[in-house]
Homo-oligomer: A and B are copies of this chain.
Amino acid sequence: MKLVVAGTMALDTIETPYGRAERIVGGAATYIALAAASLTQTVGIVSIIGTDFPTEMLTELEKRGIDLQGVVRHLSKPSFFWAGRYKADMQSRDTLETQLNVLTEFPDTIPPAYRFAPFLLLGNLDPVLQLRIYQQMNPRPQIVMLDTMNYWIQNRRDALEEALSIATIVSINDEEARELVGHYSLRRCARVILDKGPHYLLIKKGENGSLLFTKEGEIFFFPAYPLEDIFDPTGAGDTFAGGIMGYLAQVGRLTLQTLQEAIIHGTVLASLCVERFGPTALLEATPAEIQARKKALIRMSHFMALS
């Protein structure tokens, strides 16, 4: 096992200005694993699903070499469910409904075959759980990527601080970075967050791309791929993270250079993801499509006379 992914597997009902999708498969771990599996063949998921999670999606995941030993199927409860509506800007959204269901029984042990994986991606979950999963890894993974959200910043501060201290790469959005530090300037936020432990901080800004901050004080800027239309932003951040860790797991080492390559890969996968509802685009993306978009993205960021 190269990469272990912990996160939710869910059913989502999504409304956007372009349409509505009812009870489709979602969840951070689904998007992350599909994105990571586009490059690296040995990804294992730690998650929990309910009675209603479609078996066909499990088959699709397994077809892509994703290991599901760490996924528990609850025998009586339904899956974690989220319903949300996106506004016209496709960035802000209202949560219409959240049913935790099986999520309160998220597994806190991981299969023995997962324990020695060198790469661990802790998707947005209670940081107490993130830490428990991390602590079972033996030896400790070389690279840990961590995501979180406002709820944990407000309600699990101590555990989150500890989780930040064991992370190598933190991937959060601009709003979360600002809430975590209590300052508007992302540059100041980055310094404070990097002081808590991680070597790299990735701040996601949706259609405005992402910023990479390093412990050495460097900053790098990555544009988002400019799209004609966004159909469903759900899972974009998870796809971005999964693409990055999938890339790093494939090359097997983390340097500033491999991380930059990985971020371009993650950006391209996220841009494909949001052009369709749910994870459909990730299931259907071809290597040629990914490659073409990567090339275009690099050209867009390249200042001819200057770089």
Residues of B within 8 A of A211 (CB): 226
Tell me, in angstroms, the Cα distance from A186 to B256 when the chains sit together: 31
Could you tell me if A257 and B307 are in contact, using CB atoms closer than 8 angstroms? no
Please pick, from B184, B227, B304, the residue contacting A187 in the complex, using a CB distance under 8 A: B227
* Residue total for A at the interface (Cβ-Cβ under 8 A): 38
Contacts of A306 in B (CB 8 A): 260-261, 264, 298
Prevailing SS type, chain A contact patch: loop
Alpha-carbon separation in the docked complex, A300 to B257 (Å): 13
Known A185-B227, A185-B229; judge A261-B305 contact (CB<8 A).
yes
CA A185 – CA B37 in complex, angstroms?
A: 30
Once A205-B208, A209-B208, A257-B305 are accepted as A-B contacts, the answer to whether A184 and B264 lie under 8 Å apart by CB is: no
Among B205, B227, B260, the residue within 8 A (CB) of A303 is: B260
One of A126-134, A154-162, A216-224 at the interface: A216-224
- Complex CA distance for A231 and B208, rounded to whole angstroms: 22
Q: Which of A43-98 contact B (CB under 8 A)?
A: 88-90
Residues 206 to 257 of chain A near chain B (Cβ within 8 Å): 208-209, 211, 218-223, 226-230, 256-257
A109 at the interface (CB under 8 A from B): no
Nearest-Cβ distance from residue A233 to partner chain B, whole angstroms: 12
CB pair B221 A300 closer than 8 Å: yes
Q: Which residues of B contact A230 (CB under 8 A)?
A: 185
Q: Report the Cα distance A256→B304, complex, angstroms.
A: 9
Residue of B nearest to A191 (CB): B228
Task: Let me know if A301 and B227 touch, CB within 8 A.
Answer: no
Are A264's CB and B185's CB within 8 A?
no
Interfacial chain B residues near A88, Cβ < 8 Å? 184
Task: Please indicate which of the listed interface residues A90, A185, A302, A306 has the most CB atoms of chain B within 10 Å of its own CB.
Answer: A306
A297 vs chain B, min Cβ distance (A): 9
CA distance A304 to B307 in the complex (A): 9
Q: A208-B208, A219-B226, A223-B221 are in contact. Are A304 and B184 (CB under 8 A)?
A: no
Q: Are A304 and B221 in contact (CB under 8 A)?
A: no
CB of A188, distance to nearest CB on chain B (Å): 6
Report the minimum CB–CB distance from A266 to chain B (whole Å): 13
A89 and B184 CA atoms in complex are apart in Å by 7
Known: A88-B184, A227-B187. A307 touches B300 (CB 8 A): no
Q: Which residues on A are within 8 Å of B, measured CB to CB?
A: 88-90, 184-188, 205, 208-209, 211, 218-223, 226-230, 256-257, 260-261, 264, 298-307
| Interface pairs (10), CB distance under 8 Å | A185-B230, A209-B221, A218-B300, A219-B300, A220-B302, A222-B303, A264-B303, A298-B303, A298-B306, A301-B303
Minimum-distance CB pairs A-B, first 5: A221-B223, A208-B208, A302-B307, A257-B305, A260-B303
